[in-house]
Amino acid sequence: MGHKSKTTFLDVMQTKGQQKADPLQMAKGLMQLGEQFQRTAMEYAREMCEKSISPPEPDPLDPVTITKAFVEAGLKIAQNPRNLLEANAAYMQGCARLWQSALTHAAHPDQALTQVVETPKGDKRFSQEAWTTNPGFDFMKQHYLLWDRWVRQVSGNIDGLDPKVAKRVGFFSQQISNAMAPTNYFWGNPEAMKESLETHGQSLIQGISNFFKDLEEGKGRLNISMVERGHFRVGENIATTPGKVVFQNELIQLIQYAPTTKEVYRVPILLVPPCINKFYIFDLRPESSFVRWLLDKGWTVFVVSWVNPQDDRLAHKTFEDYVLQGVGAALEAMVKITGEPQVNALGFCIGGNFLTAYSAYRAKDKDNPLKSTTFLATLFDFEDAGDLKIFIDEEQLSKMEQAMKNWGYFDGRVLAKTFNLLRSNDLIWSFVVNNYLMGKEPMAFDLLYWNSDYTNLPAAMYAYYLRNMFLENKLIKPGALTLGGRKIDLRDVKVPSFILSTREDHIAPWQCGYAGAKVLGGPTTFVLGGSGHVAGIFNHPSKNKYAYWTGKILQKGAQDWLDVAQSHAGSWWTAWETWLTSHGGDKIPARTPGTKAFPALADAPGTYVK
């Protein structure tokens, strides 16, 4: 009687039509993981030694702040547990119905599980087919959603809790719930399990390898990759529009782009990006570049490229410096280069705050160089500036100021981490699943590459910005801010202004942008775009995506404006182009970058961006 051959683990893992996994290759992969682990452990130990003798960096997940908020919430719940008891009852009832449905299905497999709780619209975590066709995963999904609903009900409905503390508790409770989603763990993710079976475990090995790579890149701290490593190279396949650096100082390089038309509008335009990321959000790939689109429409385009501080040499640079030596110096150079007494200017995010402050500073000057201003995703009223305010109060700001005083700058990694927390499912956990559970490289997506290319900020400037804007909301208060010895008042601004906010903006809520439309003293146009803080802004018309809303500015609330606003299909760029053209002047022969007085210092994209 012949002996049956032994069935190995690799034989079991084999699927029809696929080759068996190569044990030698798997062994090599495991050896490489061992080497990676050793390197990462050494790097982490070195980093910890350095941190033990270095001043601490600020962290948005400050355990002391979070603990204090939850303790205060717990005390309030103990004093009045009615809402907790109601949430508990609803949760237990939902679980009972779910278990009853599961038992019924076990007895009658032809009957599907009852949907006790529906998956929220737009929740991509449970889009894989197995979450509805497989009873086990369907049960797991529904149980998690019941618990997530309980978390929201308890954390969002605490009687007597200070509203600011309540917002913090709700936010961090949701972060915990997001982290606990079954999709974030191998045995709770049917897609990851399927990938592991189909690749004979190679996807898991690659996922662990990706995890170690990210640890190495973060020098012992997990730096989750959002884009394919090495795919984008600034100046080679992103930020490639031809131009020259025509002016620079300690804070900025000013880039003038080469024209693409024979004639241009007489009045040029300056683009002021946020200083927390690189300027090339305006110049992504050629087919989506905002700069190229403007050039092709016949504009002379300049852009500010902010410096990226690496040490304490710029620690003393202030908000006023960024306004006057940044925006102001760029505008003054443009006037001299083009010979035009006035120019159009556009600011995005904090770049819009610099432009707002400069516009108010020069509002009463006869030689005001601004002909028009455009503000994209810009906060004017910081009173209800969204979830970012969770991380800013007197105690947290004092800690941050002390850390920045020690380092001389605010580490851009911390700010990037904070922004990612605001959309943790999309910007953190989706990459954990893709990179580590699935063992895949992230997509080569230009917006996410830019999002990951953060910059540091001078200590004095950033501390002033957080305290005077987010904490004390001085920008919109008449005379509350002083620049260059002048008290500024947004009501003094008389130049035409165009304000664009986006409906799903998690960083600069659109209602805060609408507040600016009501306070600026000149003719103002307000437009609401679709999507969010970045995708909704840089929405090329050729894509024909999203929509935008227009309407007469009302002194009532933002929702009152939206209720009567007119909806338009496509990108807001087309409406802005019509508005901007009215401030462009006549056509003249196209300008080449620079002059004898302002010779080219470097080719675009310049050196500060690198």
Q: Cite the active site residues.
A: 349
209 CB contacts (<8 Å, ≥6 apart)?
Answer: 29, 32, 33, 36, 439
Are the C-beta atoms of 53 and 233 separated by less than 8 Å?
A: no
Please check whether residue 490 is in contact with residue 522, taking contact to mean a CB–CB distance below 8 angstroms.
Answer: no
SS3 of 447-516: the string is HHHHHHCECCEEHHHHHHHHHHHHHCCCCCCCCCEEECCEEECHHHCCCCEEEEEECCCCCCCHHHHHHH
Pairing between strand 547-550 and 566-569?
A: antiparallel
Which two three-digit tokens encode residue 325?
């030596």
Cis status, amide bond into 523, omega within 30 of 0: no
Across the beta sheet with 269-272, what order do the strands follow? 566-569, 547-550, 524-529, 497-502, 370-376, 343-348, 269-272, 301-306, 252-257, 243-248, 602-603
412 phi/psi in degrees, rounded to 5? -60, -25
- Phi, psi at residue 588, to the nearest 5°? -135, 165
Pairing state between β 486-488 and 481-483: antiparallel
Q: Give the CA angle between residues 321, 326, 327 to the nearest 5°.
A: 115
Amino acid at 244: K
β-bridge partners, 263:
589
Which residues, at least 6 apart from 577, have a Cβ–Cβ distance to it below 8 Å? 297
Can you name the residues that pair with 526 across neighbouring β-strands? Answer: 499
Question: Residue 477: which residues within 8 A CB-CB, separation 6 or more?
Answer: none
Q: How many residues comprise the chain?
A: 610
